[in-house]
Each structure stands twice: as C-alpha cells, then as structure tokens.
C-alpha cells in the first residue's frame, strides 16, 4: 500500500511517525480524526482525490481539497422575514411620514399610501422592521437556496397526497360498480364479458399511473444513426402542419410577436375575411367565450364586496356565481319593468312607423358591443384606450382642440384658424376677416413694389469739358467750331515742331465754347487702343 510522501525535518521525526502508525494499526494509539471529528481511514492514501469504493470512505481525504480552516466571522443564518421589533404609540422624528416606522423613509415605504400620513394623524403607527446584517462566505453569497424553508413545501405535498387518496377511492368505487354490473349481467344473461371489463379496469389503472401521465407530451420514434437505429424521445409541442402565428404575416409593421411568452396580442391579418382565418390574435380570446363571462363575474364580486356584501370569488366561487346569476335576472326584470312603464306613459312610437327598406336590408352579422361612453368593447375593431390626460376639451367657444390646424409652421384651431392659444373663437367670420386682412396686406405690398419700379430716375447732368454744367439749350455754331478745329490742328503742329514757332507769339485768354469742344474732340485718349492711328 502506498503511503503519502511527507517532508520531515529530521530522521527522528520520520521514525516517530512510523511508530505512531504501527501503534494505531495494533489499536494501541487513538485513531487520527479530521477537523469535523470523524476518523481518518489510514488505508486511504492521502494524495488520492477520490477513495476506492471498497474502502467505504465517505469523502476524499486530501486536505487541500477541503476547507479545513473555517472563518468564525462567517455565518449560515438568514434574515428573519416579516419580523417586527418595536411599535411606537406616537410619531417619532425622522420616521416614515406614511406609516410611522423608523426603519425606512416615505420613499421606501411598501404600505398603501394613506390619505393623511401617520406624521400628521399620529395613529396606526406601524412597527419597526427587524434589520439584520450578515457576513457571508463565498458559497453563502452564491447559494440560491440560502434562507429557503423546506417546511413551506409541506402544503404542496399534502395536496398531492390528498389527490392520490381521492383518486384511489374513486378507482375502488368504480371497480365495485363494475363488479356489481358484471354479477347482474351474469345472473340475467349467463354470459359475461370478462375481457372487456378487464380492459376497462386496466385503462383506469393506466389513468391513475402518474409515471405514464408525466410523459403524455412525449412521442417515441426511431432515430436513424450511423451505428443503427436507436429510440429517441421527441417532444410533440404542436402539430407541425399548422402555420406558426409569426409566419401568418411577414410584414415588419404587422402585429408584434413576443418570442419569450409566445404571444401575439393583435390580429396579424386584420383585412382577411373573419370566416376564413383561424387565428385572430390573443386579445380576441380574452374578449370572447367564457373568458369575458369570468371577467364580468370577478368585477361583480369586487363591486358587491365594496358595497358591503360578504362575497369572495376565491373563497366561495359557487356563492359568487349564484349571486351574479340572481343579479342578472333582477337586472333584466327591472329593465323590462322600466320599459313597460315608459311605454304605458308615453306610448310606443316605434311600432307606428314602418322602417325604411334600406334599414331593413342594411343588416349585418357582425356583432359590435359598446359601453355607456360609446367605446367599443368587443367587435371587429380594436378598442382604443383613453389616456389619463384630458381629451376633447373645448375652451373659449372653440369646436376643435388646439393643434387641429397647421399653417406656416404654426399650430392653431381648425374652427377659426387662429394661432393664439387662449384666443376666443370667432368662427367663420374670423376666417373671412383674416383672409381679407391678408388680401389687403398683399395689395399694399404690390402697390409699394409698383411705385418703387416706376420712380422718376434722376436727370443726368451734362457737364462741359472744363467741369462746369452745360445748359440744356446750348447750341454750337458749326462755322466757329470748324475754325476752332483748324486752330487746334495748327497749334498741335507748332507744338510738334518748335522751329516753326514765331518769335512774337500772341496769346488770347478768351476761350469760347467752340474752342473747348474742338479741344475735346482733338484730345488724345490714353485708354483708346486706336490712339496711335488718329494723327
């Protein structure tokens, strides 16, 4: 047998360890125990993680695979649920304003909100909760069953045991009845169908067998494999020929399908003929058949309990259903009595007139149910729920709501087309006045534009060459202008050739209009590209 390899400080320690093992084998020394107080089997090697089956060991003996050092600070206890510590008689400062408990504030209070809190009434002060803190170890923090009370499952076991007992009694009663019938038939006919009776009893026993009932949704089928056929279990969740509800309409904007709950509340094919489709959404089942009757029964039980009747749907369902039936009968009787009284007093005008042929032939098989407010409860159309905000509230004599009209990036009222929120409705007269004002404004703008286009352009002043203004009625003498041009040519020739210039030069300071015009005509323009070809 192999032994554990342990490192000793000296050879003497090794010898003492061997003597101690021999004494334990002979029964002269006490056996070695672990931290739990249990005896350690010396025949199990200490280095083995799992002991052999023939040694009858309860657990592995390798110490480093077990937690042999336990922290005393860790605990395995759990919270005391629902425990209360102290109940005060009056409100304390810093306590919950709603219930008066000192262990939480008003925001964290789980009790029903009171109309007047305990802070102001000082009555019905709730007791303080027991607050505990634990320091859990690694396993305790991750234990999902920590704090679970196994005794709370006892009522489930009792219910199943009672069901089994009732089932056994029922089976025995059925067997006794069949035995009596068999004896009677034997006495009368002299022939008995033992095989049929035995088969029926076997069927009843098969019904009682829970092990077979558990596999009611399983189908045994042969699964082909490479190594030959093998029997496998396949769950038959639904008939495979039926189309899945999420494949009825592949449009992205169609009814929403929740894959987690496998529910599709709205109708995936609302435009399809109701007589042809087999699925109209989960909400259709909630408002049809016995589901609606059960809902009305619950509502009647709640209303009756609020009015003082001792009715509880879960505690006494038969009593609640009987009261609901009596309520419907009394309601119908009262309705007919009221109708008869009105007809006796005022007469029935509906029977005197014959209904038009259009109304008689305009009937339909579609059933639509409305409530007193005119909302659709049941029918082809889905009922649109009202929001908690105010709807269809008309103010200041308006017949439409704010936001029913839009123009030029502004919201307004459609009835009067005003864009001021709290304005008074002026109706059609206000619309006509607004349109007239707009037309007048457009006419004024057009007239202003026309006057600007037809404005008198400023008269361009004619300036003479020397910078003074030229009169509009100025006329040049052509003869004098020709002479002035000749003088200008001679003057230019003299400037070009200084030798032809006379010694005694006469100078005349008088400049006429013709002279200025001749100078202007003979002047050289430096920007003129043809200036070099002029002279």
Q: Taking the chain, what is the end-to-end CA distance rounded to the nearest angstrom? A: 141
Instruction: Please answer whether residues 97 and 117 qualify as being in contact, where contact means their C-beta atoms are separated by less than 8 angstroms.
Output: yes
Residue 39 is given by DSSP the state B
What tokens were used for 241?
């020929």
List beta partners, residue 469.
Answer: 463
Q: Which long-range contacts (CB under 8 A, 24 or more apart) does 225-230 make?
A: none
Closest by alpha carbon to 181, among 159, 196, 165? 196
Per-residue pLDDT of the chain (535 residues; tens, 9 = 90+): 444 444 445 666 667 777 777 766 666 555 555 555 555 555 544 444 555 566 566 655 554 445 556 666 777 778 888 889 999 999 999 999 999 999 999 999 999 999 999 999 999 999 999 998 888 888 888 888 888 888 888 889 999 999 999 999 999 999 999 999 988 888 776 554 555 555 554 444 444 444 444 444 454 454 454 444 445 554 555 566 778 888 888 888 889 999 998 899 899 998 888 888 888 888 888 877 788 888 889 999 999 999 888 888 888 889 999 999 999 999 999 999 998 898 888 877 767 666 666 666 666 677 778 888 877 777 755 556 667 777 878 888 898 988 888 888 889 998 998 888 888 898 888 889 888 998 999 999 998 888 887 765 555 555 454 445 555 566 788 888 888 888 888 887 777 666 666 666 666 677 888 888 888 887 766 667 776 675 5
Q: What is the pLDDT of residue 120?
A: 94
Q: What's the CA gap between 364 and 338, in Å, rounded?
A: 29
Q: Could you tell me the pTM of the whole model?
A: 0.23
What tokens were used for 228?
């030959």
Largest CA distance in the chain: 185
Closest by alpha carbon to 414, among 394, 399, 432? 399
Closest by alpha carbon to 79, among 148, 127, 150, 152? 148
Q: What's the CA gap between 464 and 368, in Å, rounded?
A: 99
At residue 298's C-alpha, the angle toward residues 296 and 301, to 5°, is: 110
Q: Which residues of 7-34 are buried (b: 16+ CB within 10 A; e: fewer)?
A: eeeeeeeeeeeeeeeeeeeeeeeeeeee
Instruction: Please answer whether residues 51 and 61 qualify as being in contact, where contact means their C-beta atoms are separated by less than 8 angstroms.
Output: yes
Instruction: Please answer whether residues 379 and 392 qualify as being in contact, where contact means their C-beta atoms are separated by less than 8 angstroms.
Output: no
Q: What's the CA gap between 91 and 110, in Å, rounded?
A: 18
Q: What's the CA gap between 45 and 208, in Å, rounded?
A: 52
């Amino acid at each position: 047998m192999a032994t554990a390899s342990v490192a000793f400080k000296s050879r003497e320690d090794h010898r003492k360890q061997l003597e101690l093992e021999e004494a334990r084998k002979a029964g002269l020394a006490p056996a070695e125990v672990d931290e739990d107080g249990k005896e350690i089997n010396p025949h199990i090697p200490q280095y083995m993680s799992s002991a052999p089956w023939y040694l009858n060991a309860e657990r592995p003996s390798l110490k480093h695979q077990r937690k042999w050092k336990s922290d005393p600070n860790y605990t395995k206890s759990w919270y005391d649920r629902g425990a209360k510590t102290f109940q005060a008689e009056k409100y304390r400062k810093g306590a919950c304003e709603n219930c008066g408990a000192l262990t939480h504030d008003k925001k964290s209070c789980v009790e029903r909100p009171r109309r007047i809190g305990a802070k102001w009434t000082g009555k019905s002060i709730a007791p303080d909760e027991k607050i505990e803190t634990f320091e859990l170890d690694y396993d305790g923090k991750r234990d999902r069953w920590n704090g679970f009370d196994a005794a709370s499952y006892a009522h489930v076991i009792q219910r199943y045991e009672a069901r089994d007992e009732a089932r056994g009694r029922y089976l025995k009663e059925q067997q006794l009845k069949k035995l009596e019938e068999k004896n009677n038939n034997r006495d009368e006919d002299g022939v008995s169908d033992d095989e049929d009776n035995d088969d029926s009893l076997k069927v009843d026993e098969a019904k009682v067998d829970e092990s077979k009932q558990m596999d009611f949704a399983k189908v045994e089928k042969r699964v082909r494999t490479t190594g030959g056929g093998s029997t496998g279990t396949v769950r038959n969740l639904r008939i495979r020929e039926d189309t899945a509800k999420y494949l009825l309409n592949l449009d992205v904007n169609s009814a929403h399908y929740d894959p987690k709950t496998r529910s599709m509340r709205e109708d995936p094919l609302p435009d399809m003929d109701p007589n042809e489709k087999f699925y109209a959404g989960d909400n259709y089942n909630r408002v049809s058949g016995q589901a609606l009757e059960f809902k009305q029964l619950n509502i009647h039980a709640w209303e009756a309990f609020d009015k003082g009747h001792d009715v509880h749907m879960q505690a006494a369902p038969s009593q609640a259903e009987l009261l609901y039936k009596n309520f419907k009968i009394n309601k119908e009787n009262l309705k007919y009595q009221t109708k008869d009284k009105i007809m006796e007093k005022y007469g029935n005008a509906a029977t005197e007139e014959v209904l038009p042929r259009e109304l008689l032939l305009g009937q339909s098989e579609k059933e639509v149910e409305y409530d007193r407010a005119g909302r659709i409860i049941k029918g082809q159309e889905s009922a649109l729920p009202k929001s908690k905000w105010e709807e269809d509230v008309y103010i200041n004599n308006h017949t439409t709501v704010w936001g029913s009209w839009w123009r030029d990036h502004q919201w307004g009222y459609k009835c009067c087309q005003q864009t001021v929120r709290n304005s008074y409705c002026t109706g059609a007269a206000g619309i006509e006045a607004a349109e007239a004002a707009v037309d007048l404004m457009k006419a004024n703008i057009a007239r202003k534009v026309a006057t600007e286009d037809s404005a008198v352009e400023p008269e361009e002043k004619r300036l003479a060459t020397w910078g003074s203004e030229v009169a509009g009625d100025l006329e040049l003498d052509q003869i004098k202008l020709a002479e002035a041009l000749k003088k200008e040519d001679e003057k230019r020739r003299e400037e070009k050739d200084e030798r032809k210039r006379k010694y005694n030069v006469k100078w005349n300071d008088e400049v006429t209009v013709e002279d200025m015009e001749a100078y202007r005509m003979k002047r050289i323009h430096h920007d003129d590209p043809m200036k070099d070809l002029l002279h």
